[in-house]
Chains A and B, each alone.
Chain A
Amino acid sequence: MVEEEGFRRYVAHIILWIGIAIVAFPVYIAFVASTQDNALIANGQMSLLPGGHFFEVYYQTIFVGTSGSTREPVGNMMLNSLVMALLIAVGKIAISIISAYAIVYFRFPFRMPIFWIIFITLMLPVEVRIYPTYKIVADLHMLDSYAGLSLPLIASATATLLFRQFFMTVPDELLEASRIDGAGPLRFFWDTLLPLSRTNMAALFVILFILGWNQYLWPLLITTRDDMQTIQVGIRKMITTTDALTEWPIVMATAVLAMLPPVFVVVVMQKLFVRGLVETEK
C-alpha cells in the first residue's frame, strides 16, 4: 500500500465506508425485518434495530413454513436447493473435465467438429432451449425429481472450454514421461491431470455452485410439488398471497438463509478459488 498523508487517507476511507454501507444496508434491513413482528412491518412501523423475535421467526421458517401460499418448511427447500446446486456443480465439472480430456489428448474422427458443436452450445442457454428441454424431461418422467432439476443444466460448454485451455498449458512432456513410465490414458488422467486441475476445479466449483443455487426459471417450470421446491422459487411464492398479509419476517428470514450457503462456499474456498484463477506455475 502506498502511504498517503493523513487527510487524503481519511477521505479514501470515508468513501470506502459509504460503499460498504450502500451494499450492506439492504442485507441489514432484511435481517432486521426477519426479527420483527409482522404487524409492525405491515403498519410501516418497522424499527431499524433488530427486534425480539429472532428465534421464533427462524424456527418457524426453517421447520414449519408459512401459513399461506406455500407451506413447505424452508429447511426442506434449502435441502432441495443444496442437492440441486451440488449435483449441477459436481456434474458439470465431471462431464466437462472428461470431454476436455478427450478433445485435447485424443485424435479421433470429427474431433474439431465436435469441439465446435460444444463451443456453439455456449449460445444456447437453458432459456433459449427451454421448450424442447422441458418436453424431454417430461417425457422421461423426470418432473419433480432431482434428476430433472439438475441433469438438463449439467452439460457445460464454458467449463469444457476452461479445462481445455488449462490442459493445453500442461507440457506435452508430462504425457510423454507418463507413457514411458507405463501409465495408460486413464492412469495419466487420474494420477497426473486430475491433481494438477485441483485449483481449477475448486474455482469452477465456487462459480457453478452459486450458479446452481441461484437457478430460478428452470426449477419453477418443472417442480409442481411443494416438497420439491427450491428456495429461490419458494421465496417468490411466499410473497404472493391472496386474502392474507405477506408474512414478511418469514420471507426475510428465508432471504437471509438463502444467502448463507453461497457465502459459506466462497469463504471456505476463497483461497483455492483465487489460486485457481491466477495460478500460472504448474
Chain B
Amino acid sequence: MANVTLRNVRKTYPGGFEAIKGVNVDVGDGQFCVLVGPSGCGKSTLLRMVAGLETVTGGEIDIGGRIVNQIEPADRDIAMVFQNYALYPHMSVFNNMAYGLRNRGMKEAEVKTRVDEAARVLELTSMLERKPRQLSGGQRQRVAMGRAIVRQPKVFLFDEPLSNLDAKLRIAMRVEIRKLQRRLNTTSIYVTHDQLEAMTLADVLVVMNGGQVEQIGNPLAIYEKPATTFVASFIGAPPMNLMSTRPEEIRSQLAGSGAADAGILGIRPEDFVITDQTPADGVVLPLTVEAIERVGAETFVYGTRAQEEQRIAANPGELPPGEVIVRIPGSEAPPIGQQIRVAAMRQKLHLFSGDGRARIEA
C-alpha cells in the first residue's frame, strides 16, 4: 500500500539526449495509473526509472513516502512484469515464482504457501512443475504476473505486458489484470501504447509525448476534454478529425461563438450525423465519400472536403489533410463517390489554439 509520486523527474542520457523532460505524476494508494503514448515518448523509460533499472538524472521518485532515487530495485518493494515476461527459462514455474522470495531469505514453507496461493488465483496449479518453454503465451504471461504478486509488493509495474499476445487473449488478460488489481488493491503503474488498453484499465491516465506529460486525468475526462491536439488525436479510435479554422467555410460557421482566437477545430467521428438540414448552432461540412468500412455495429465513412486546406501539426494517428472520418450506425452505408453533408452540434466541437498546445473553451 503506497502512493507513488514523481516530482520533476528528468532523464538525460550521457549523449545529451533528454528522454524525460520534467514529469510530475501523483498516483494515489491502490490506484491504477496508465502511461500511454507513441513509441519513443519516454513512457517505458519513466517506468524503468520507478523500478530502479534506469538512473534518475533529476527530480525525485517517492514510493510510500520514501525517496527511492538511490535505492536498488530489489529494495524498492516493487514487482515488475516485462513485455517478454523475462521468465527464467531453466527454472520450473514454481521456482520462477519462488526465486525472488528465496533470495530474500524467506522460509521454504512460507514460500510454498505464497506460490501455491498465487498459482491458485492464476489457475497455474497444474503447471507448477513445467518449464516456461512448455507453456503458451497466455500462461507465461500469468506466470510473470504470479512472480509479481507472490512478492506482495507496494507497487506493481507493468511494461506493455500484453503486447506479445494475440488480440482475443489480450482482451481477456486485460480484464483479468484489472480484476486482480482491484482485489489486491495494490498501486499499479502500467505502460502501453494501446489507447484502448489505456482507456479501459486506468484510474489515472497519463498521456505522454516527447518526454513530457501532455495531460493527466480520468480517462473519460481526457476523452471528453483533450487538452492538446496531440491528446485529441491519440486518445480515441478512429482519431478525432482536426482541421484548420482558417478556411472561410469553417470560419463563417464558427463566427460569433467566442472562438475567434481558435486555430484548430476538432470533431470526433461519432459526433457527426449525415443530414440535409442545417442545425441552428453547429458546423456543417460537405464531403465526397472516398471509402467506407463496415464493421457490423458501425460504419466508418472516409470523406474528403471540397476545399484544400493547409496541413496542421503532424501528430501520430492524424488524418491526411482534408480527410474526415464519420462514424454512423452499421445499418447505413452511403455509396462511394456520393456528395454528403455532415453536421456536428456546437457543444460537441473541440477548439484548440493555432499551435495545438492549448484547448480553448468557448
Q: Which residues of A contact B52 (CB under 8 A)?
A: 179-180
Within B311-335, the residues touching A (CB, 8 Å) are none
Interface centre among A191, A281, A282 (most CB of B within 10 A): A191
How far is A180 from B103 in the complex, measured between Cα atoms in Å? 10
Q: A180 contacts which of B80, B85, B87, B89 (Cβ < 8 Å)?
A: B80
Q: What is the interface size of chain A, counting residues whose CB is below 8 A from a CB of the partner?
A: 18
Contact flags (1/0) for A142-178 with B, using CB distance below 8 Å? 0000000000000000000000000000010110110
Within A241-282, the residues touching B (CB, 8 Å) are 281-282
Interface centre among A173, A176, A182, A281 (most CB of B within 10 A): A182
Q: A183 contacts which of B78, B90, B103, B133 (Cβ < 8 Å)?
A: B103
Is A192 among interface residues, defined by CB-CB distance under 8 A?
A: yes
A-B contact pairs, 14 of them (CB 8 A): A173-B82, A174-B86, A177-B82, A177-B86, A177-B87, A179-B53, A180-B53, A181-B99, A181-B103, A181-B147, A182-B100, A187-B103, A196-B89, A282-B89
Query: Are B89 and A191 in contact, CB atoms less than 8 angstroms apart?
Result: no
Is A52 among interface residues, defined by CB-CB distance under 8 A?
A: no
Q: Given A180-B51, A180-B79, A173–B84 Cβ distance below 8 Å? A: yes
Q: Given A177-B82, A281-B133, A182–B90 Cβ distance below 8 Å? A: no
Using C-beta atoms within 8 Å of the partner chain, give the interface range for chain B: 20 to 34
Query: Are B84 and A171 in contact, CB atoms less than 8 angstroms apart?
Result: yes
Q: Which residues of A contact B358 (CB under 8 A)?
A: none
Query: Are A191 and B100 in contact, CB atoms less than 8 angstroms apart?
Result: no
How far is A104 from B85 in the complex, measured between Cα atoms in Å? 22
B15 to A: closest C-beta gap in Å: 15
Chain B residues with CB under 8 Å of chain A are 51-53, 72-74, 78-80, 82-90, 99-100, 103-104, 133, 147
Q: Which residues of A contact B104 (CB under 8 A)?
A: 182
How far is A115 from B104 in the complex, measured between Cα atoms in Å? 35
Interface centre among B78, B87, B88 (most CB of A within 10 A): B88
Is A195 among interface residues, defined by CB-CB distance under 8 A?
A: yes
Query: Are B103 and A182 in contact, CB atoms less than 8 angstroms apart?
Result: yes
A97 to B: closest C-beta gap in Å: 16
Q: Which residues of B contact A177 (CB under 8 A)?
A: 80, 82, 86-88, 147
How far is A47 from B296 in the complex, measured between Cα atoms in Å? 89
- The 8 closest A-B CB pairs, nearest first, are A181-B100, A173-B86, A182-B74, A182-B103, A177-B86, A195-B90, A173-B82, A179-B73
Among residues of B, the one whose C-beta sits closest to the C-beta of A195 is B90
Q: Which residues of A contact B74 (CB under 8 A)?
A: 179-183
How far is A171 from B132 in the complex, measured between Cα atoms in Å? 15
Interface centre among B74, B78, B86, B104 (most CB of A within 10 A): B86
Among residues of A, the one whose C-beta sits closest to the C-beta of B86 is A173
Contact flags (1/0) for A193-224 with B, using CB distance below 8 Å? 00110100000000000000000000000000
